[in-house]
Amino acid sequence: EDIIKIENMTKVYANGEIQVKALKSIDLTIQKGEFVSIMGSSGSGKSTLMNILGCLDRPTEGHYYLEGIDVREKSDNELSAVRNKKIGFVFQSFNLISRTSALKNVELPMVYGRIDADERHERALELLRQVNLENRADHMPNELSGGQRQRVAIARALANQPQIILADEPTGNLDSESSVEIMDIFTKLNRENGNTVIIVTHERDIAEFTDRIITFRDGEVLTDERLRAKEAIP
Ligand code: ADP
Ligand code: ADP
C-alpha cells in the first residue's frame, strides 16, 4: 500500500524575477511501514521534499497523494488538519519549549487535540516510557542532554499517534553514541509500532540504519537504493 505517492512533481520558488526549481519532475512512492532515508548535498532539494511530504508546502506542478488524498486540492485548513493527524515532525534542533518540563512538552500537541488533562498526562508519561525517559518527566530541557532532548521531541512527535514520522537531520546536533540511540528508537517505532519513518541525513552511517536510501542531486532523484528487503526484517 502506497502511503506516499509523488507523480511528476515540481517545486519552483519564485522571489521576484528569480526562480529556483528546487524539485524537477520527480516520481517517488513510499509504502506504508517503510523506513527510508533521504541524502544529498546542500541545496539538492531535501528540505523542500520534506516540507511537501509534511504538508507544510504544496507542489507547484504534479501531484502528491498522501494515503490517496491529493494534497494540492486541499485548503490550508484541511491541510493543517491532515498534518496534525497523520504526521509527526522531528527537527535537528529539537524545538522544545525551554520553559516547561519534558512531560509538558510531550503533552502540548494533545492540548490542541482536545484530550482532557488526566488522559494527556497518562499518555505523555507512556510516550516518555517508550523513549526510556519516564524518569526525566519533570526535567526542563536545559537539564537534559542533547540525546535526551531529542527523545523528548520524538515522544512529542508521537503524541497524536501519527502514521508517518518525518525527521530532518535528527542526529545532526548529536554525538555518535546519542545518534545511535536515536536511530534505535526510530528502528523500534518502525518495526514494532509500524510507523512509516523518513529521515534526512548527511551521514551514510546513519542512513544505513534505514532500509532504503534515496539520494537527491539538483532537485532530482539520483539513486534509490534498497538495503534490506521487507521480508528480511525480523
Ligand atoms: P537541501 O535541503 O537539500 O539543502 P533545499 O530544499 O533547502 O535543499 O533547497 C533546494 C533549492 O531551493 C536550493 O537551491 C535552495 O536555495 C532553494 N530554496 C529552498 N527554499 C527556498 C525558498 N524559500 N526560496 C527560494 N529558494 C529556496
Ligand atoms: P538545510 O539545512 O536542510 O539544507 P537550508 O539551509 O537549505 O536547509 O534551508 C533552511 C531554510 O531556508 C529552509 O526553510 C529553506 O526553505 C530556506 N531557504 C533555503 N534557501 C533559500 C533561499 N535561496 N531563499 C529563501 N529561503 C531559502
* pLDDT tens readout for residues 125-139: 999 999 999 999 999
Q: Per residue in 42-79, pLDDT tens? A: 999 999 999 999 999 999 999 999 999 998 889 999 99
- HSE-CB for 135 with a 13 A CA cutoff: 1
Global pTM value: 0.91
| Stretch 36-46: mean pLDDT | 97
**Residue 13 CB less than 6 A away from ligand 1:** yes
196 vs 233: CA distance, rounded Å: 14
- Sign for the CA dihedral angle at 76, 77, 82, 88 comes to positive
Residue 234 has pLDDT above 70, yes or no: no
The CA 157 to ligand 2 mean position distance, Å, reads: 22
Q: Does the C-beta of 18 come closer than 6 Å to ligand 2?
A: no
Which residue's alpha carbon is at the smallest distance from atom 5 of ligand 1? Answer: 45
Q: How confident is the model at residue 149 (pLDDT cuts 50, 70, 90)?
A: very high
- β-pairing, 212-217 with 220-226? antiparallel
CA 48 to ligand 1 centroid distance, Å: 6
104 CA to middle of ligand 2, Å? Answer: 30
pLDDT of residue 228: 86
ipTM tops 0.85 = no
pLDDT: which is higher, 114 or 44 = 44
